[in-house]
Amino acid sequence: MKNIYKQVEENIDNLVTKNVDWAACASKEQLQAARTGNLKLQFFGRDIPEEWIKDVNGKKVLCLAGAGGLQAPLLASAGAKVTVLDISNKMLDKDREIAKNENLQIEIIKGNMCDLSMFHDCCFDYIINPPSLIYIPNPLVVFRECYRVLIKGGSFIMTAPNPMNYVCDYIPDENGGYYKAVHKMPYYSKDYDDSDWIEYGHTMETYLGGLIDCGFSITGYVECQMEDITELYFIARAKKY
Ligand SMILES: C[S@@+](CC[C@H](N)C(=O)[O-])C[C@H]1O[C@@H](n2cnc3c(N)ncnc32)[C@H](O)[C@@H]1O
């Protein structure tokens, strides 16, 4: 099998070509709102609480695995000094294009979020991490690096699926179907099918316990349930003190 990160890169590039909804760029209206002090960042349908990001103007922000022309241009429009790092060039192309068209300064890096060695210690005020830890076998590798590159007082804002997304399978039947808990956690897609798709379902122990083990204090937590009721996501703010 191919290196997992190479395979993930290919999988993401393929999905971007198919215009998946999470590869949609910020709209002109959203960018204008951010420029005039009304920055709104969403993960799925849920706003990141305003309080968590209210002072990004002038701050150094890393959009980690955060390409796609959404978060990075919005943060740059709100006055943040933004770096976006992502494994997919097709996703990064969206940031390149929007930065050019909107005259925004965004540092764009193609890389793997498990290796932030290009950044020195304590160099970011914020790290914004959209849904992406599902492509990493061990999120603690990422959390350790995030802790290292954040300043004291800095915030790591991340989102990930609740394990409920992976425990249940949909069972169709003549009455409209139902969900059944069938998978033990942690989940790995390759245990269930031999396609090229790679995805990891981590436990809450790995996510929240992992952040705490890496030195973070969790100072915020919200959830978002999608129309498919087993699609439950959480957004956490972890602070380095
Ligand atoms: C669901 S998209 C999230 C981006 C989007 N802006 C959003 O808000 O939903 C997941 C992103 O994670 C990136 N990614 C996956 N694995 C990565 C890795 N190991 N290192 C860096 N980026 C990675 C993908 O290329 C993709 O851009």
Is 8 inside a domain boundary? yes
Ligand 1 centroid from CA 233, angstroms? 16
Atom of ligand 1 nearest to the CA of 68: 6
182-197, pLDDT tens digit by residue? 999 999 999 999 999 9
> Per the domain annotation, does 184 fall within a domain?
no
Distance 87 CA to ligand 1 centre (A): 7
The answer to whether 6 and 184 are in contact (CB under 8 A) is: no
Residue 53, pLDDT > 80, answer yes
Distance 64 CA to ligand 1 centre (A): 8
Residue 130 placed within a domain: yes
Confirm or reject: Cβ of 161 under 6 Å from ligand 1: no
- Model pLDDT, residue 44: 85
Q: How far is the CA of 26 from the centre of ligand 1 (A)?
A: 16
Banded pLDDT at 45 (limits 50, 70, 90): confident
Q: What is the CATH number of the domain that holds 18?
A: 3.40.50.150
What number of other Cβ atoms are within 10 A of residue 85's Cβ? Answer: 24
Is the distance from CB of 74 to CB of 41 less than 8 angstroms?
A: yes
Q: Is the CB of 12 under 6 A from ligand 1?
A: yes
| Residue from 48, 135, 165 to probe ligand 1 pocket by mutation (most atoms less than 8 Å from CB) | 135
Looking at the CA of residue 112, tell me the nearest atom of ligand 1.
Answer: 20
71 lines ligand 1 (CB under 6 A): yes
Residues 186-211 as b or e (16 or more Cβ within 10 Å = b): ebebeeeeeeeebebbbeeebbbebb
Asked if residue 114 belongs to a domain, the reply is: yes
Instruction: Please state the atom number of ligand 1 nearest to the C-alpha of residue 88.
Output: 25
Average pLDDT, rounded, for the chain: 96
Q: What is the DSSP letter of 26?
A: P
Report the pLDDT value the prediction gives residue 62, as an integer from 0 to 100: 99
| pLDDT at residue 209, as a whole number | 98
- pLDDT per residue over 130-166, tens digit each? 999 999 999 999 999 999 999 999 999 999 999 999 9
pLDDT given for residue 1 in this prediction = 62
Give the global pTM.
0.97
Instruction: State the residue range of the domain holding 36.
Output: 4-163+198-239
Query: In sequence order, what are the residues at sequence separation of 6 or more whose Cβ sits closer than 8 angstroms to the Cβ of residue 174?
Result: none
Per-residue pLDDT, 236: 98
CA of 119 to the centre of ligand 1 (A): 19
Residue 204 lies in a domain: yes
Inside any domain, residue 122 = yes
What pLDDT, in 10s, does the model give residues 207-229?
Answer: 999 999 999 999 999 999 998 88
Q: State how many domains the chain has.
A: 1
Query: Is 229 inside any structural domain?
Result: yes
Beta strand 124-129 with 150-161 is parallel
Considering the chain, what percentage of its residues have pLDDT values greater than 70?
100
